[in-house]
Structures are given as C-alpha cells and as structure tokens.
Amino acid sequence: MTRILGIETSCDETSAAVLEGSGDNVVQKSLVILSQDVHRVFGGVVPEIASRAHLTSIVPVVQRALDEAGTRLEELDAIAVTNTPGLVGALLVGVSYGKALAFSRDIPLLGVHHMEGHLFAAALEHRDAVPPFTALLISGGHTLLLDVEAWGQYRLLGATRDDAAGEAFDKVAKLLGLPYPGGRYIEQLAATGTSKRFTFARPMVRKNALRDDDDYYAFSFSGLKTAVLNAVRASTDIEADKADIARGFQDSLIDTLVEKTARAASAFGRERVVLGGGVACNRTLASAMRARLEPGGVKVFTPTPRLATDNAAMIARAAFFRFEKGERSGLDLNAYASSPIPGLVAA
C-alpha cells in the first residue's frame, strides 16, 4: 500500500490531500481546500496576491490534511505537487514546499500536470470512471476534449481557439452584473429564464460537419460572448431580460459541449464519458450530457463539485499512476505557466 500527499497551488485554491492504496483502488483519507476569496473584489485572480496567500496558508493546510488523515509526515511514501500549468508564482509555492518536504524525508517527489489531475478526479468517487473513456475538461483556463485509451495515453481531439468555457461563463456573468467567479450564478439565473427569447448561434456546430474538418471537435466561445454583449446593449430593460439572456447563453454553450463530446464518444466507440474542471459543477450541463448520451448506452461521470474544481486529491490520484509506473521528479523540478499534458498520442 502506498500513501501519497498531494499539494495544489496552481491558481487561487491552496489545497492538500492524503490518499492511500494501489492501482485504481485508491482511498482519499483527507482533503483540505482553502479558497482565496480576496480575488472577488478584483473580479478576477490577481497573481501576486495569489502567491502571497499560498505562502501564508500552505503550512497549516498541509498540516491539517495530515491530521485529518491521521498520518504523520514519516508515514508518507511520496509527495505529489502540481507544477504546470498555472500561475508561475502560485505554482512555485507548492513546488518549493513539496520539494522541501520530499528532501527532508528523503522520499520521492512527483510533479503533476494540473489537467491530468482533473482527468483523474471522477475516478476518486466512481470505480468505473476509468479508461477507456471520452473526457471533457472544462475549467476557467482550459477546454479540452480528449480520447483516453488508457491512463497516460491521451489523444487531444479538440481545444478552445479563444476563451475557455469557464472564462466565457465568468465574462458573461460580469456583463450581467453577477459576482466573480460567475459560473454558478449564471446557472442559477438561467434556471429562472426562458429559452425562447434569446437564441444564440451554437459556436462551431454545423449540421453537415465531417470528421476530417479541422473544427469538428474544436471550441470557440468569444463570438458567443460578443453576441451576449450585443443583446445586453440592445436591451431596454436589462433587469427584466437578464435571466433570459443567461438562459440563452447557457443553452448555446451546453449544446456545443454536448455535441462535440457526443461526436468524440461515437467516433471512438466509447461507452463512458468523464467530465472534469469547475464547469463540470454545472448540473444543467450534466443532465443535458446524460439526456443525449445515456439512451445510446454511454455512461456519464461527473465529480462532485469539491473534486470538480481545483483540489489536491486529484493531483495525488494522478500521482499514484505515475508513481506506480516508476516515474520520479528531481529536486530541480520547476514550475511552468503552460505545457502539454503528458502522454499525448497522435490524434
């Protein structure tokens, strides 16, 4: 049995978790997530403030994760830490702390790709959320459609050409005067709106699309955001219209996500679809995905909100796979703002 401490500081959550087990049989012993609410007043994450906040919280957050797991530092087999992608200053706090812990205990260190972590989140709760599957990772910074043949073998089918799905939610929320981060406020508001009044074009979804088209699996949300902006400007009573606009926006974005995911699952004959990232908290999306795919025998897995958004449990979970393959990072491990997910296979 292996016991791994995971650390995540890539954006505005300071998180630590302890996981125990082997293979796909891994149990979460603890998970602590400290969200930095300070960014709300700025309407977005301020990198410098994020790094400083990680610095003040990392020690107590890790200590608490160990306490809740009933584990001492001496009982850990490895330290896993997100080292890419993310805000470099924020990542460096986790990376430096993780290195120091690994060095002081003389145990292995593993740098983990944040998006690979999101891929493993659903597996923490659902035994069957394991490859082969189609994955849709939708967060504030990324929108990735992947075919996952096996852990560590990721075929990148599509990504966004401009804004990420979560970013589109956040920008539209701002246009409608909702708090940051706005995804869940849009979802709440849209639930009170009607679908008939504002219909926005579905980005990059054509009826006659062919598998070889270069936008067959691609996403683009900035045009949709502009269409919403125009609707907001044209409105003579935004208070009365905003729920319907939110509904129209969310319907369009969800339709696109569902269509592209369905295309991928069908093209590769996958019977499982795994969602990950903060936008996977959206229940309207999850039900639309199920309504479309489950009649065809495809099961849809979504992590609970705590595991869908940024957390260290998913980082430790991905590290189990890498650790068992014999991978280790050196003490020269660095932080990178962006880098491709490891294990990409040709599309």
In the complex, minimum distance from the CB of residue 61 to ligand KG4, in angstroms, rounded to a whole number: 16
In the complex, minimum distance from the CB of residue 108 to ligand KG4, in angstroms, rounded to a whole number: 26
Q: Between 244 and 310, name the residue whose CB sits nearer to ligand KG4.
A: 310
Per CB under 5 A, contacts with Zn ion among 271-330 are 310
- Choosing among ligand KG4, Zn ion, none, which partner's interface includes residue 98 (Cβ < 5 to 8 Å by kind)? none
In the complex, minimum distance from the CB of residue 283 to Zn ion, in angstroms, rounded to a whole number: 19
In the complex, minimum distance from the CB of residue 307 to Zn ion, in angstroms, rounded to a whole number: 11
- Choosing among Zn ion, ligand KG4, none, which partner's interface includes residue 200 (Cβ < 5 to 8 Å by kind)? none
SS (HEC) of the chain: CEEEEEEECCCCEEEEEEEEEECCEEEEEEEEEEECHHHHHHCCCCHHHHHHHHHHHHHHHHHHHHHHHCCCHHHCCEEEEEEECCCHHHHHHHHHHHHHHHHHHCCCEEEEEHHHHHHHHHHHCCCCCCCCEEEEEECCCCEEEEEEEECCEEEEEEEECCCCHHHHHHHHHHHCCCCCCCHHHHHHHHCCCCCCCCCCCCCCCCCCCCCCCCCCCCECCHHHHHHHHHHHHHCCCHHHHHHHHHHHHHHHHHHHHHHHHHHHHHHHCCCEEEEECHHHHCHHHHHHHHHHHHHHCCEEECCCHHHHCCCHHHHHHHHHHHHHCCCCECCCCCCCCCCCCCCEECC
170 contacts Zn ion (rule: CB under 5 A): no
Q: Between 57 and 139, name the residue whose CB sits nearer to Zn ion.
A: 139
Sheet containing strand 143-150, edge to edge, reads 299-301, 272-276, 133-138, 143-150, 153-159, 344-345
- Choosing among Zn ion, ligand KG4, none, which partner's interface includes residue 187 (Cβ < 5 to 8 Å by kind)? ligand KG4
Q: Between 118 and 155, name the residue whose CB sits nearer to ligand KG4.
A: 118
Q: Between 96 and 284, name the residue whose CB sits nearer to ligand KG4.
A: 284
- Choosing among Zn ion, ligand KG4, none, which partner's interface includes residue 183 (Cβ < 5 to 8 Å by kind)? ligand KG4
Give me the 115-154 binding string for Zn ion, x by CB under 5 A, dash otherwise.
------------------------x---------------
In the complex, minimum distance from the CB of residue 277 to Zn ion, in angstroms, rounded to a whole number: 6
Q: Between 187 and 310, name the residue whose CB sits nearer to Zn ion.
A: 310
Binding-site ranges for ligand KG4 (CB under 6 A)? 11, 139-141, 166, 169-170, 181-184, 187, 277-279, 281-282, 309-310
Nearest CA among 135, 139, 145 for reference residue 114: 139
Per CB under 5 A, contacts with Zn ion among 240-259 are none
Q: Between 139 and 256, name the residue whose CB sits nearer to Zn ion.
A: 139
In the complex, minimum distance from the CB of residue 185 to ligand KG4, in angstroms, rounded to a whole number: 8
Q: Between 108 and 303, name the residue whose CB sits nearer to ligand KG4.
A: 303
Name the site residues for Zn ion (rule: CB under 5 A).
139, 310
